[in-house]
Structure 1
């Protein structure tokens, strides 16, 4: 079981089964990206192995944002798969960084995921959080069906290895068809939206379900 805090915006600690995949989607400035980072940072503080797949920020920026949440917590249990820059600059943290040429190289990303999971398992980590930020960037380079197939394989790997998968989608109001396709790969969907200048959220797939929109 994996502890997850603030997913339902109630401050409670919920626990999800091993192999669960969670999708977080929402427009900018709604809190969706903060929730993604918070759930990933929770894995660091819980002493789990944590893998970040980043397609729109450099590894250095990811680690800077992560350390702003975890404070002085060691990041030696963190692996970054940097598919944005194709190279790494010197790190000020003790995380491990693997590089992929670009978000177009889904095969390369898949190979690095395997390498990262093997690395963490060899170091004795039996619980691993695997995060992907952002699905939106992949959608800029690939068709919706290609992205879905990649996510389907990724979520299947999470299930098979008893990990916890967390994906982030920076959604636009016109993305509804793509949202439906992407969310089909995930067990839980935490959605954010702006309505009449009010941010609302709901969670589908987590017991008890919160299908009604409520102010976030």
Structure 2
């Protein structure tokens, strides 16, 4: 595996993001409140080039921007596809260079167009950019669209990430009574980071990759 820009930065989890290969898609799956957002933000820094597009369905861009730049530095290019501001009828929802707004988490077409547009721009740049794409979270998309539609959406997104030699990272809340979403999305990804709450805090393990521990590890 080849290392990315994030190699030189210290990590907050037991993961080794720099060992992710370009073109890799990773699912981060586990119950709520088990550190999935931290894992997402860390792995997005595995991109070969310091550019990231983050689809946010839970938090305002300002919140995630601060967390991301604290981890990776403000020199890292970060743009958002914001799925919540217009749905909440917030005042400032005009698109900017840093934020593209869609009508809501159920607008899979709008999300796909916005995210794919950034990948296309990277691919067509004079010096091709191989950045990262994150979605936080697939669980919110599933509240507005059925599993079949979200699976088809993710089939397209993960394929474009792979074809552009980027890194894709997607979070999913899991529940023991309904394992099907995790099983389906796992089929589209090269690796899965599973999270859970241990006795002393969050734990994780990696399936399908060599960029982290394969047994449950505290962090």
Normalising to structure 1: TM-score of the pair? 0.81
Q: Is the 8 A contact 1:8 1:202 kept in 2?
A: no
The aligned residue for residue 189 of structure 1 is 192
Q: Is the 8 A contact 1:49 1:120 kept in 2?
A: no
Q: Is the 8 A contact 1:88 1:99 kept in 2?
A: no
The aligned residue for residue 172 of structure 1 is 175
Deviations 1:70-96 (A, max 9, x none): 45x235x221111122378389xx961
Deviations 1:23-43 (A, max 9, x none): 111223322211111222565
Deviations 1:108-164 (A, max 9, x none): 111111222233443745211011110010011111121111111110011111111
The aligned residue for residue 19 of structure 1 is 23
Q: Is the 8 A contact 1:88 1:97 kept in 2?
A: no
The aligned residue for residue 63 of structure 1 is 65
Structure 2: give runs of 5+ residues left out of the alignment.
none
Partner SS state of residue 216, structure 2: strand
Structure 1 residue 169, shift from structure 2 partner: 1.2
In the TM superposition, 1:111-150 aligns within 5 A as: 111-121=113-123, 122=125, 124-150=127-153
Structure 1: give runs of 5+ residues left out of the alignment.
none
Normalising to structure 2: TM-score of the pair? 0.80
Q: Is the 8 A contact 1:56 1:84 kept in 2?
A: yes
- Structure with a larger share of its residues in strand: 1
Partner SS state of residue 215, structure 2: strand
Structure 1 residue 209, shift from structure 2 partner: 7.7
**Aligned pair in 2 of structure 1 residues 79, 124: CA closer, same or farther (>3 Å)?**
farther
Q: Is the 8 A contact 1:130 1:164 kept in 2?
A: yes
* Aligned residues: CA RMSD: 3.0
The aligned residue for residue 37 of structure 1 is 41
**Aligned pair in 2 of structure 1 residues 8, 17: CA closer, same or farther (>3 Å)?**
farther
Q: Is the 8 A contact 1:190 1:201 kept in 2?
A: yes
Query: 1:123 and 1:62 mapped to 2: Cα distance?
Result: 29
1:201 aligns with one of 198, 204, 209: 204
The size of the alignment, in residue pairs, is 210
